[in-house]
Amino acid sequence: MKFGFKSFNHWDPLKKCLIGSVYPTDFFADHPDTEIADSLSRINQETREDLDNLEKTLQQMGVKTYRSDELQRVYKKYSGVKQFMEEKGHVPKPFMSPRDDYIVIGNHLVKTAPESSYDTTDAPWAGCEDFIQSPYLFEAPSVMRAGRDLMIDTHPTNGDSMGFQDKFIPWYNKNFNTNFRGHIVEVGGHSDGTMCLVKPGLIISDSNVEKFNETYPGWKVIHTPRPENEYTEAFKKMKDQKSQHRFKKYWIANEEGNNSLHEFIDLWLNKSVGYVFETNFDVNALGVNEKTIISSGPSKELEAQLKQEGVELVVSKIRHRYFWDGGVHCVTVDLERDSTLEDYFPDRGDENYTFGRIWKDGKLRKE
């Protein structure tokens, strides 16, 4: 039995989409420290509301949606975070960003991480032959799909992703009779935090990323700086107040001085937060079709530039993206698109390329 996965790029009409989730309702309510319980309960609830709104937005666009709550059996047998801490000794990140573990390549949903805390036995595709486990570890959010061309960031922070080109691609092509090309670049992290392939011939990108004339020759690039807003300004201010706050890699509105909360995150949720200012959330966007993308924050300048290209920017807010380190692309997986395999760069033949670093002056970003 097959589920019917299909996606060859980031822009063909989206038909089915998986959306992430957060912890169960009231998961943090039994923590004895109310400063921790109230803050994390608020974050959890507000994020659930934002994901619900994203789901409604996609459904209004005609997309069939699936939620990941059913994939979180690990939480269901516990009364709350207190019991979880006592029995498990840690608090894993919820299935907020399914893009971290899953990607559709061609006609298969590929699980890229061999070990995961997320249970898939209740998923609609459980047991389907087109749901496969990759025998080689790689970072799904670092893969950019443009027809035959699969571009992956292989910076050392991405673990074994170096095997994507010389191991996974040959394995996939041989087993499923495909002819994908696998190219490698060095972005320095997840590629979807630095660029979005909007449609054939158009890219939006973080302002520090270049060399598109090599990776996507002839395509127009709209460079957009990382947002300067109330989130980034508050974070910078907090970093400057070294006497009151130690350095943080995340930010939560109005919680700068909640030391109990920060200590809890350091001890129990340290693997749930990333260094959020490596991500340009304006480009961490989900393509619905060639004329529509969804992003997590408003950007009038980017909206105007995309409008000139015939593309509408729809905003579906994720208020706590600077805590979870996840924008709209991170919290979704495009399961099915009305898609066909195209060769946008036929001059490449069957060759795989290594493009190296694509940052300005060949340097990786530093904060």
Specify the higher pLDDT residue, 278 or 35.
35
Q: Percent of the chain at pLDDT above 90?
A: 47
Res 171 pLDDT > 90: yes
* pLDDT-derived band at 166, boundaries 50, 70, 90: confident
pLDDT of amino acid 235: 61
pLDDT of amino acid 68: 74
Specify the higher pLDDT residue, 51 or 326.
51
Instruction: Report the SS3 class of residue 49.
Output: helix
Residue 155 token pair: 């910076």
pLDDT of amino acid 365: 40
Res 244 pLDDT > 80: no
pLDDT of amino acid 267: 83
Please give the Cα distance from 318 to 325 (Å, whole number).
10
pLDDT digits (tens, 9 = 90+) for 57-102: 999 999 999 987 655 556 666 678 888 788 777 787 788 889 988 9
Q: State the virtual CA torsion across 64, 68, 73, 77 in degrees, nearest 10.
A: -100
Residue 240 token pair: 């400057």
Specify the higher pLDDT residue, 193 or 32.
32
pLDDT of amino acid 196: 94
Using only the alpha carbons of the chain, give its radius of gyration.
20
pLDDT of amino acid 300: 87
CB neighbours of 307 closer than 8 A, spacing ≥ 6? 313
- For the ranges 117-126, 172-181, 218-227, the one whose mean pLDDT is highest: 172-181
For 87-180, list the strands marked E by DSSP.
Answer: 102-105, 108-111, 131-133, 143-146, 149-153
Domain 14-360 annotated CATH 3.75.10.10:
yes
Res 362 pLDDT > 50: no
| Angle value at C-alpha 106, between 60 and 358, nearest 5 degrees | 90
Determine contact, residues 291/113, Cβ cutoff 8 Å: no
Res 360 pLDDT > 80: no
* pLDDT-derived band at 7, boundaries 50, 70, 90: very high
Determine contact, residues 151/350, Cβ cutoff 8 Å: no
Q: Which amino acid is at 165?
A: Q
pLDDT digits (tens, 9 = 90+) for 213-241: 889 999 999 988 766 656 566 666 665 55
CA dihedral (76, 33, 48, 91) positive or negative: negative
Q: Which residue has the tokens 């319980």?
A: 37
Phi-psi region of 147 (alpha: psi -120 to 50; beta: other; left: phi over 0): left
Q: Compute the mean pLDDT over every residue in the chain, rounded to the nearest whole number.
A: 84
Please give the Cα distance from 202 to 158 (Å, whole number).
26
Please give the Cα distance from 211 to 154 (Å, whole number).
16
Please give the Cα distance from 156 to 173 (Å, whole number).
25
Residue 356 token pair: 């190296």
Please give the Cα distance from 210 to 356 (Å, whole number).
11
pLDDT digits (tens, 9 = 90+) for 248-269: 677 787 887 888 998 888 888 8
Could you tell me the pTM of the whole model? Answer: 0.90
Please give the Cα distance from 72 to 74 (Å, whole number).
5
Phi-psi region of 220 (alpha: psi -120 to 50; beta: other; left: phi over 0): beta
Determine contact, residues 119/73, Cβ cutoff 8 Å: yes
Q: State the virtual CA torsion across 341, 346, 352, 354 in degrees, nearest 10.
A: -110
